[in-house]
């Protein structure tokens, strides 16, 4: 199978397309023919070695953590009826070395991790969901302990995680404020955010002073940088900060009487199924997409690293996506 791999950490030139053996599913696994792979900031951070001390790794590394595709083979302990299902998944297995990724034609993973994709999503949209939506869900609910009626501030609201977090927080009954560039205010407001604040100059401080004079209950930080310390001052006493983009200043948090933590999303099939149900009902909508070919992975990483991506970049892997989608959705409806 073709795959995009790296043999060492470094710049874009370390990525190369290579033929690798097609994986064989274990007893409790399924083999997925990948239609689309999502591109996330974690991908280029892994490529550059910035996460080497966070995750164990094993070269060659096939990059990519989320995908959509069709189950084409199952292990001995998996129901044969799952063959043909069109699924999406966050494919990083907790506790295992980073090595097997989704920038490839096939991936084998535990059957429970592969959730039938909502029938109302295109394969490209399905691939854009797992990692961002699970990150948002776990940041707000698992780590953030969001309660209905609370005020939440989401930085980077126009990005893949931020755009899902706005919708998930609204569904939880929160008042949602978000930080985004002026060009993206119409977009984040269309998702239902109660107010959008520009991050430039004094606009953020002035906006928060007006919209949340006593501070916010929860800050979900998707940007990092100065938010890792300064963002703590946006919280009311007893407030919580959850960041996905760096290490927060926990000493300052203690001095201010708030809490701060960093999270990295983990695969959770039950949560992904709940997200799938909300997508199927139209309660959540997928982020805007920029679709690129797998061969254009260098450009995709450059755009992701530059920031300010509205929504999500996805890489097209399969050639017969439309056929896979039709067959897979029919099988998913029949077998789920």
Q: Higher confidence at residue 90 or residue 322?
A: 90
76: which DSSP letter? T
3-state secondary structure of 166: helix
3-state secondary structure of 257: coil
Instruction: Indicate the CATH number of 2-129+287-335 among 3.40.50.360, 3.90.180.10, 3.20.20.150, 3.30.1490.20.
Output: 3.90.180.10
Residue-wise DSSP of 10-70? -SGGG-EEEE-PPP---TTEEEEEEEEEEE-HHHHHHHTTTTTTTS-B-SSEEP--EEEEE
pLDDT at 185 over 80: yes
- Domain spans, the chain: 2-129+287-335, 132-262
Q: Are 151 and 193 in contact (CB under 8 A)?
A: no
The pLDDT of residue 191 is 98
- For the segment 285-314, what is each residue's pLDDT rounded down to a tens digit? 999 999 999 999 999 999 999 987 889 999
pTM of the predicted protein model: 0.93
pLDDT at 330 over 50: no
- For the segment 244-267, what is each residue's pLDDT rounded down to a tens digit? 999 999 999 999 999 999 999 999
CA distance 114 to 112: 6
pLDDT at 320 over 70: no
pLDDT at 331 over 50: no
> What mean pLDDT comes out for the span 101-124?
97
Q: Higher confidence at residue 229 or residue 95?
A: 229
> What mean pLDDT comes out for the span 275-288?
97
The pLDDT of residue 319 is 67
CATH architecture of 132-262: 3-Layer(aba) Sandwich (3.40)
List of residues 6+ apart from 139 with CB closer than 8 A: 161, 165, 220, 242, 244, 263, 265
The pLDDT of residue 332 is 47
pLDDT at 323 over 70: no
> What mean pLDDT comes out for the span 231-241?
97
The pLDDT of residue 318 is 85
């Amino acid at each position: 199978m073709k795959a995009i791999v790296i043999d060492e950490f470094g710049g874009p030139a370390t990525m190369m397309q290579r033929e690798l053996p097609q994986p064989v599913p274990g007893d409790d696994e399924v083999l997925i023919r990948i239609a689309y792979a999502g591109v996330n900031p974690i991908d280029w951070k892994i490529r550059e070695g910035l996460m080497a001390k966070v995750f164990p790794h094993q070269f060659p590394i096939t990059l990519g953590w989320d995908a959509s595709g069709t189950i084409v083979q199952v292990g001995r302990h998996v129901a044969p009826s799952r063959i043909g299902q069109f699924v999406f998944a966050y494919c990083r297995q907790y506790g295992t070395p980073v090595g097997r990724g989704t920038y490839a034609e096939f991936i084998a993973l535990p059957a429970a991790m592969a959730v039938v994709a909502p029938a109302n999503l295109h394969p490209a949209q399905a691939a854009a969901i797992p990692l961002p939506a699970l990150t948002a869900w776990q940041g707000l609910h698992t780590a953030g302990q969001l309660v209905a009626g609370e005020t939440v501030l989401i930085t980077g609201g126009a990005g893949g995680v931020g755009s899902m977090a706005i919708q998930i927080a609204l569904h939880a009954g929160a008042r949602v404020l978000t930080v985004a560039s002026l060009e993206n205010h119409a977009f984040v407001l269309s998702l239902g955010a109660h107010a959008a604040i520009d991050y430039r100059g004094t606009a953020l401080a002035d906006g928060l002073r007006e919209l949340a004079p006593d501070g916010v209950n929860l800050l979900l930080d998707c940007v990092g940088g100065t938010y890792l310390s300064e963002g703590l001052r946006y919280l009311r006493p007893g407030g919580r900060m959850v960041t996905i983009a760096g290490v927060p200043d926990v000493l300052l948090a203690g001095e201010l009487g708030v809490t701060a933590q960093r999270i990295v999303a983990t695969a959770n099939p039950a949560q992904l199924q709940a997200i799938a149900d909300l997508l199927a009902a139209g309660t959540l909508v997928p982020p805007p997409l920029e679709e690129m070919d797998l061969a254009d992975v260098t450009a995709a990483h450059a755009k992701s690293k530059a920031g300010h991506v509205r929504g999500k970049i996805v890489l097209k892997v399969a050639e017969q996506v439309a056929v896979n989608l039709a067959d897979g959705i029919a099988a998913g409806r029949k077998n789920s």
